[in-house]
Structure 1
C-alpha cells in the first residue's frame, strides 16, 4: 500500500475518533445526533441559490426524499440521512414566514409514509395558502405515491413526469405472522395482558375476526380522510375519487388524464410556470441548507467515506421504525424499490 493511501486511512481514522469524541460531548447537551445536522422549528436555514434571477423576489424549492415518517432515534454516524420530518416542517414554516419568498415548490420523490406525518404536511400547506397567501406547487420526481400524493393534493398546481409513479391512493397496515415458523422451531411466547385486544396484530398468533374488524374500522376512517383530501384539493367529486382510490398506481400521463395532476414537466418547467404566474420575471430560485457545524461536517464526511447512499427512498429507515403496526399512506410493493 502506498504512503498516500496510508496517510488517507490515517486521516480518516483521526476524523472518526474526533467525531466520536465530539459526539459524546454534544449528545450530553442535545440528546441526539439530528440536532447537529438540523434542528427544530427555531432553525435559521441558510439559502443556497439554485438559479440566480433578477433579485425581485424568490422561489424556495423544498425536497421530500424518502419515506415520510418521523424517526424515534437519531441515525448513527455511518448512516446516511434521507427524509427528516422535523426539518422539513421547519423549512416549510421558515419559507412561509419569510416575506421575501413569493412561492414554494415541493419536489417529491417518496412512496408515502405515516398517516400522521402526511397530515401534518398537508395541514401546513393549507395554512400557508390561507394565512400567508403564497402559492405552493408540486414537482413529482420518479415516485410520488400514497402519502406522497396526499401531501401534494392541496397544492395550487401539481406537475409530474410522464413516467412518474403516483396514485396508490389508500391506507395500509401490515404485520408479519411468524407463528407457524415459531412452532416449527419450538418457540413459544408467554403473553400476560390486561384485555383481549392488547396484543392485537401479534406476529406470534393468527388474527381473530374481531381484531380484523377493529383494525379495518381504523383503516376505513383514514381512508375517508384521504378521499376528502383529494376531493377538496383537486375539486373532484367524492364518488369519482373513490373510483380512483382503490390502491392502484398511475403513471404521470394517466394521472393527468384523470385530473390528479395539472401538467407534465420536470422541475425546470415547474419553476418557469411559477415565475410566470408570480409575474415579476425571472426571480431567484433557492433551496435551504442547515447551518454549518463542525461535528455535522465530520459526520457527513464519515458517511460519505464509508458508503454511498444505497437507500435513496429511505426504505431502510421505514423498516427500522416498523417494530409496531402503524397506519401508513404507503405504496407497499413489499417495501422494495428497484
Structure 2
C-alpha cells in the first residue's frame, strides 16, 4: 500500500510553488509587450506624417491646377493685360509676366486689340525698357493695335511703357507723367563724426565703396552718378518722343519729373483722351468681350520659388528620419 505522503516528496509540486525561471518568462512577456507598443506607436507616427505630407502635396497640386472658366479665345474680343503695382523683377508687373501675357494676347486670333490696364507708380527702367521694346516688336509682327488705359496712376516707368502704345486713355483725375530718373540713399558721416564713430572700410579699387552711406561722397563720384542718371533720363525722353511724336506739346517742365492729372496730360499730349477699359473695348476696339491674359504668380508658385528646394530637402530628410519597422 502506497504511502499517502509520497506525492508530497516525489509527485507534483504543492499548489503554491512556481516552476524554475518563471521570473525570466514574465520579464520576456513584458519586454515583448513594450516592444509591440513601441512598434504600434511608430506605425501611427509614420501614418500621420505621411498623411500630412499627402495633404500638403494635394494642396500644392490644387493651387497649381485650380479650375478656371474655359473661354473661347477664337471669338472676337479685347485682350487685357494688367500692369499694377511696382514694375520690378519678381513682381506681378515684371517684364517676365507682362511680356508673356502680351505675347499670348497678340498671338490669339480672336484678340482684335490688346489693352494694357495700368495702375502703377513706376519702378525699374530696365523692366520697363524690356516691356517697351517687346510692345514695338509685337505690334510690327502681328499688326494689331495696342492701347494703354490708365486707372489711378501711370507714372515714371509705367509711363515709359504706355508711351510705346498706339493711344493712351486716362481718367480725368488720373496721375500721369513723372518723366525722370532718381537714385536715392542716406549719408551718416556727419552723425558718425558727432558720435565719434570711425568707419573702417577697405577696398581694392578706389570707387568700390561708391555710394556707401557711411563714407563721404567725393565730387567725382557725384558727377559720375549724375552723368549716369542723365543718360537714363535721355533714354526715357527718347522713348516718349518716339512714341508720342507730334502729339507732344513740349515745355521746359515736360521732362522735369513733374506729374499731371489725366485732363492736363491730354492737354500736354502725354495722353490722348478720356476713356475707361469698357469704353475702349466698346467704342474703339469694337469688341466688348474682355479676356484677361494677365500672368499672376499664385501662392503655389511663390512657395515653389521661395521654399521649393527647402521643402523638398525637408521632405527627404523627414522620410529618411522615419524609424525602421522590423
TM-score (norm 1): 0.64
Pick which of 170-179 and 267-276 moved more.
Answer: 267-276
Of the three residues 92, 102, 105, the one matched with 2:115 is 105
The 3 A distance-change label for structure 1 pair 169 and 297 is closer
Aligned match for 2:221, one of 211, 234, 239: 211
Query: Which ranges of structure 2 fall in alignment gaps of 5 or more residues?
Result: 1-51, 305-326
Gaps of 5+ in 1: 1-16, 27-35, 39-45, 72-80, 277-281, 300-338
Displacement of 1:180 in angstroms is 3.2
> Alpha-carbon deviation of 1:191?
1.8
Task: For residue 99 of structure 1, give the secondary structure of its aligned residue in structure 2.
Answer: coil
Contact 2:86 2:93 in 1 (8 A): yes
- Cα deviation 1:164-203 (Å, max 9, x = unaligned): 0111111111112233344455554422212221111111
Instruction: Indicate if the aligned counterparts of 1:231 and 1:241 stay in contact, CA closer than 8 A.
Output: no
Query: Aligned partners of 1:255 and 1:136: how far apart in 2?
Result: 19
**RCO higher in structure (CA 8 A, sep ≥6):** 1
User: Which is higher, the Rg of structure 1 or of structure 2?
Assistant: 2
Using the size of structure 2 for normalisation, the TM-score is: 0.66
Residue 288, structure 1, aligned to residue 293, structure 2: yes
Pick the structure with more helix per residue: 2
Deviation, 1:205, is: 2.1
Asked if structure 1 preserves the Cα contact closer than 8 Å seen for 2:248 and 2:270, the reply is no
CA contact (8 A) 2:169 2:276 kept: yes
With over 3 angstroms needed to count, the CA separation of the structure-2 counterparts of 1:237 and 1:294, relative to structure 1, is closer
Aligned-residue offset at 1:147: 0.8
Deviation of 1:132 after TM superposition, in Å, equals 1.2
Question: Deviation per CA, 1:213-265, whole angstroms, max 9, x where unpaired?
Answer: 10111111111111111111001489926641111111000000111111112
Matches within 5 A, 1:267-282: 267-276=277-286, 282=287
Q: In the TM superposition, what is the alpha-carbon distance from 1:85 to its structure 2 partner? A: 3.7
Q: How far has the Cα of 1:115 moved from its partner?
A: 1.2
Pick one of 268, 278, 284 that aligns with 1:258: 268
